């Protein structure tokens, strides 16, 4: 189409720009969270995450040391306070200017001496060293305030991750929830695949009465909202003694994942070449052998697709875990639940929220980017008809 119509550069530009805008719209929300997770709480509340990438100009307001304790008598009724305005703390960034009054910000260059009137002087160097000199009256009482305009380079920290993941004293940490989620996800991904693969083979390649009906039922169950299953199944679990716990959540995820698994795998297996299967049958292979030796290896892409779906779904799930897993003890909480808790209790502590959320997002994102090919294939097999 390009070759025939030819495309004006203006159109190409417009196209590129609109795609850039679209991509930005979809990327920035996540990026904002990611950047925030590397900032301290003070930084997050001081400025938006979008300004964290650039050197920031800000005005610091600091007091000199307490004159009554620190002044040195110079004689002649003159007194001096000396020290470092940053208190010896390493200061990253550059001092642009400073002032002793909020009304004339930027009055003095670093290293200059400011005149406060009546022979009171204040000298501030770029490294923060200062000299404050004056008479008895001036160098006493409250310490002199200094307004310093500084440019700080982008500053990121790992301390949030350290706190959220590794701090033993942090009762709201994510480490435990992370392992709980993992414990839910792995069996809940593997078991339905196995069950579904056999069923899909039977529905694809074995002839028996009722096959069409079964397929129709699977297609129907595909859209049944799992909300319906909550109370009956919880009662059932309680009645047979599973109660709330990992076993219950594994079974529930297996049941809820099966329709999609069977549907995806059957669609894929039906498309495998008939010759291979018939030749194997002629050679005397049983259905079991055909399935394990031929169908299963050939179906790897479909198996991988479903595995990713089920992994993402179980990892990201909140409702099933709330109903079937998490009991009053809170020992089995998963990450999604933990984050909802944090939203309630630490609503304003964005450094904790952002970091916790990103810890839970990171794994599925990694899986997503590593296995995108299979994910796309699975989606297409499941939907395009």
Partner 1 sequence: MNPALQGLITIIIGVGGCVGYFYGANLFLDKVLFKPTGPNAGRNITRANMIRPWLFLMPAILALGIYLAYPVFATLRLSFLERLPGNQYAFVGFDNYTKMFAEPKFIEAMRNNVLWLVVVPAAATGFGLLAAQLTDRLRWGNIAKSIIFMPMAISFVGAAVIFKLIYEARPEDVAQIGILNHLYLLFGGAEPQQWLQIPFWNSFFLMAVLIWIQTGFAMVILSAALRGIPEETVEAAIIDGANPFQIFFKIKIPQIMSTIVVVWTTITIATLKVFDIVFAMTNGQWETQVLANYMYDKLFRANDWGMGSASAMIIMLMVTPILVWNVYNARKEMQ
Task: Tell which positions 215-254 bind partner 1, by CB under 8 A.
Answer: 215-233, 235-236, 246-247, 250-252, 254
Is 18 near partner 1 (CB under 8 A)? yes
Yes or no: say if 320 and 250 are a contact pair by the CB < 8 Å rule: no
Binding-site size for partner 1 (CB under 8 A) equals: 117
SS3 string of 211-241? HHHHHHHHHHHCCCCHHHHHHHHHHHHHHCC
Query: Which region among 66-74, 159-167, 211-219, 299-307 touches partner 1 (by CB under 8 A)?
Result: 211-219
Nearest to 188 by CA among 309, 296, 365: 309
Q: Which of 13, 54, 288, 300 binds partner 1 (CB under 8 A)?
A: 288
Is 312 near partner 1 (CB under 8 A)? yes
- State the minimum distance, in angstroms, from the CB of residue 155 to partner 1: 16
Is 369 near partner 1 (CB under 8 A)? yes
Q: Which is nearer to partner 1, 26 or 76 (CB)?
A: 26
Q: Which of 99, 124, 262, 303 binds partner 1 (CB under 8 A)?
A: 262
Is 126 near partner 1 (CB under 8 A)? no
Rounded Cα–Cα distance for residues 209 and 376 (Å): 34
Rounded Cα–Cα distance for residues 321 and 340 (Å): 13
Is 148 near partner 1 (CB under 8 A)? no
Considering only CA atoms, give the Rg of the chain.
33
List the interface residues with partner 1, window 20-79 (CB under 8 A). Answer: 22-23, 26-30, 32-33, 36, 44-50
Cα–chain-centroid distance for residue 381?
Answer: 29
Q: Which is nearer to partner 1, 142 or 293 (CB)?
A: 293
List the interface residues with partner 1, window 73-112 (CB under 8 A). Answer: none
DSSP 272-326: S-HHHHHHHHHTT--HHHIIIIIIHHHTHHHHHHHHHHHHHHHHH--HHHHHHT-
Contacts of 292 (CB under 8 A, 6+ apart): none
Q: Which is nearer to partner 1, 98 or 358 (CB)?
A: 358
List the interface residues with partner 1, window 336-355 (CB under 8 A). Answer: 336, 339-340, 343, 350, 353-354
Backbone conformation region of residue 141, classed left if phi is above 0, alpha if psi is from -120 to 50, else beta: left
Tokens 């435990």 locate to 176
Sheet architecture: strand order including 129-135: 72-75, 78-84, 129-135, 120-124, 113-117
Rounded Cα–Cα distance for residues 43 and 52 (Å): 8
Query: Which region among 103-111, 157-165, 285-293, 299-307 touches partner 1 (by CB under 8 A)?
Result: 285-293
Q: Which is nearer to partner 1, 32 or 83 (CB)?
A: 32
Is 212 near partner 1 (CB under 8 A)? yes
Query: Which region among 14-22, 80-88, 103-111, 293-301 touches partner 1 (by CB under 8 A)?
Result: 14-22
Q: Which of 83, 154, 301, 364 binds partner 1 (CB under 8 A)?
A: 364
Q: Which of 126, 243, 286, 293 binds partner 1 (CB under 8 A)?
A: 286
- State the minimum distance, in angstroms, from the CB of residue 96 to partner 1: 19
CB half-sphere exposure, 348, CA atoms < 13 A: 3
Q: Which two tokens stand for residue 227?
A: 């909300």
Q: Using CB atoms within 10 Å of the CB of residue 216, give its burial: 0 to 12 exposed, 13 to 18 middle, 19+ buried.
A: exposed
| Site track for partner 1 across 163-202, x = CB under 8 A | ----------------xx-xx--xx--xxx-xxx-xx-xx
């Amino acid at each position: 189409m390009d070759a025939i119509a030819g495309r004006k550069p203006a159109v190409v530009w417009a196209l590129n720009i609109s795609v850039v805008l679209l991509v930005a719209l979809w990327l920035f929300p996540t990026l904002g969270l990611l950047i925030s997770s590397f900032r301290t709480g003070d930084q997050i509340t001081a400025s938006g995450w979008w300004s964290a990438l650039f050197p920031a100009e800000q005005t610091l307001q600091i007091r000199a040391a307490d004159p009554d304790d620190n002044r040195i008598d110079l004689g002649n009724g003159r007194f001096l306070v000396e020290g470092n305005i940053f208190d010896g703390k390493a200061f990253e960034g550059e001092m642009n200017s400073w002032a002793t009054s909020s009304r004339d910000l930027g009055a003095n260059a670093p290293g200059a001496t400011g005149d406060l009137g009546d022979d009171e002087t204040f000298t501030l160097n770029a490294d923060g060293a200062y000299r404050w000199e004056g008479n008895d009256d001036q160098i006493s009482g409250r310490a002199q305030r200094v307004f310093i305009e500084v440019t700080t380079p982008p500053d990121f920290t790992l301390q949030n991750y350290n706190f959220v993941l590794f701090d033993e004293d942090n009762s709201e940490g994510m480490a435990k929830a992370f392992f709980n989620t993992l414990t839910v996800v792995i069996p809940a991904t593997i078991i339905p695949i196995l069950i579904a693969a056999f069923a899909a083979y039977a529905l694809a390649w074995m002839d028996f009465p009722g096959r069409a009906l079964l397929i129709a039922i699977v297609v129907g169950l595909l859209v049944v909202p799992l909300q319906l299953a909550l109370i009956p199944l919880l009662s059932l679990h309680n009645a047979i003694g599973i109660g709330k716990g990992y076993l219950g959540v594994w079974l529930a995820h297996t049941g809820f994942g099966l329709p999609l698994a069977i549907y995806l795998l059957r669609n894929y297996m039906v498309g495998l070449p008939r010759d291979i299967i018939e030749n194997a049958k002629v050679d005397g292979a049983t259905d079991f052998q055909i399935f394990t030796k031929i169908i299963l290896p050939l179906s790897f892409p479909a198996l991988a697709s479903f595995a990713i779906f089920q992994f993402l779904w179980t990892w990201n799930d909140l409702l099933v875990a709330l109903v079937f897993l998490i009991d009053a003890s809170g020992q089995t909480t998963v990450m999604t639940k933990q984050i909802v808790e944090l939203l309630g209790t630490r609503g304003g502590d964005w450094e904790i929220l952002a970091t916790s959320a990103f810890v839970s997002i990171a794994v599925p994102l990694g899986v997503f980017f590593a296995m995108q090919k299979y994910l796309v294939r699975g989606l297409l097999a499941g939907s395009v008809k």
